[in-house]
Amino acid sequence: MIRKLTEEHNNMLHNKIYIIGSVASGKTTMAKKLSNQYNIEWYELDNVVHIRFPNGGTRRSPEERDSVFSGIINSEKWIIEGVYRECFNDGFDRADRIILLNTPPYKRKYRIAKRWFRQKFKLEKSNYIPTLKMLLSMYKWSKGFEKSKDNILKMLESYKDKVIIMNDNTDMVGI
């Protein structure tokens, strides 16, 4: 069985942390906090998949994406955050700690709307253009996470000694 966050994790140092969860689960916020706490660079998987430009972006080829990802996971220290994608499973093998943010759907729905409005009115930076289509896509992806969660949990079983499941990103003791 995959463990919840417990006191036994408090004294362990983790140089390679892989955070997964749904859109708006708190992955980026957690990655930033852990990056500051441990002085480890963090990476967004969306930026491994896409090349960002001021007016949008483009998808990397699978070969280029895999090369960028390999460069990250072969480094000494890293924090990676993103939604689950099978093409990045090698990161689970290399991680010291895997965190699944299982934030409740109602909280994600609120965060999606809040983020979209903040980005739409340029109060928050965005890696994409905050269109209505993007807002609806984020809700669709959040719902898709719920449908795929059992499969993700099953996949994580083989890493049970290094997995922590959290219902929110606020209690990060011992990560």
Q: Are 115 and 124 in contact (CB under 8 A)?
A: yes
Q: What is the pLDDT along the chain (175 residues), one digit of tens a residue?
A: 444 444 444 445 689 999 999 999 999 999 999 999 999 999 999 999 999 887 778 999 999 999 999 999 999 999 999 999 999 999 999 999 999 999 999 999 999 999 999 999 999 988 888 999 999 999 999 999 999 999 999 999 999 999 999 998 776 655 5
Enter the pTM of the model: 0.88
Give the CB-side neighbour count of residue 23, counting CA atoms within 13 A. 19
Domains and CATH numbers, the chain: 3-166 (3.40.50.300)
* Residues contacting residue 99 through CB under 8 Å, at least 6 positions apart: 17, 18, 19, 20, 21, 30, 163, 164, 165, 166, 175
Query: What tokens does 127 get?
Result: 């890696």
